[in-house]
Amino acid sequence: MTESEAEVSQERRDSGPGERCDSGTAVIEFIFASIVLLIPVVYLMLAISQLQAASYATTSTAISASRIAARDATPSEARAHQVADMHFTDFGLTDVPITIDYSCSGPCGQAGSLITARVETKVSLPGFPLLFGTKHSPHITLRANHTDVVATAGGG
């Protein structure tokens, strides 16, 4: 027996009867910890990115809706919803309920009056519609407002 083998043998004898050798468990612990920590972090990143995309889409929809209304004496809700669908599709969100409301600071359509578009949408978190159904899944409500000045009377 060589000198190094004798030292290893002596160390094993010195460890008490209740102590074990930890050979090979570091890999298992690393894999377990990675899975336990990685899955929530990946889900959190997916949820945050979906909410950020919905926030951008809601804001750009409010801007577009107020600009449409500022150029038209009678704002078309159908046109505003088409633009909203385009914005949400561009950000990868489909079948999201969108509400668009208008309010005017003076007579709507009169040059110089202010028109405000309010957009509200409800975004479900990833995976919840599969568990609870589309209508009953938990959601986060996002709202955006944008005010624009009516430039010309009659939307010319």
pLDDT in tens, 34-81: 888 898 899 999 999 999 999 999 999 999 999 988 887 666 778 888
Q: Are 59 and 114 in contact (CB under 8 A)?
A: no
By mean pLDDT, which of 7-11, 60-64, 138-142 is the weakest?
7-11
Rg (CA), the chain: 30
Q: Provide the token pair at 133.
A: 């159904």
Instruction: Quote the pLDDT of residue 74.
Output: 65
Q: Are 82 and 125 in contact (CB under 8 A)?
A: no
CA distance 66 to 106: 15
Instruction: Quote the pLDDT of residue 141.
Output: 94
Reply yes or no on whether the pLDDT at 120 is more than 80.
yes
Residue 5's alpha-carbon distances to 13, 59, 74, 150, in angstroms, are 12, 71, 92, 90
Residue 109's alpha-carbon distances to 65, 99, 102, 133, in angstroms, are 14, 21, 12, 42
SS3 state at 65: helix
Q: How far is CA 22 from the centre of its chain?
A: 43
Give per-residue burial for 33-54: e unless 16+ CB within 10 Å, then b: eeeeeeeeeeeeeebeebeebb
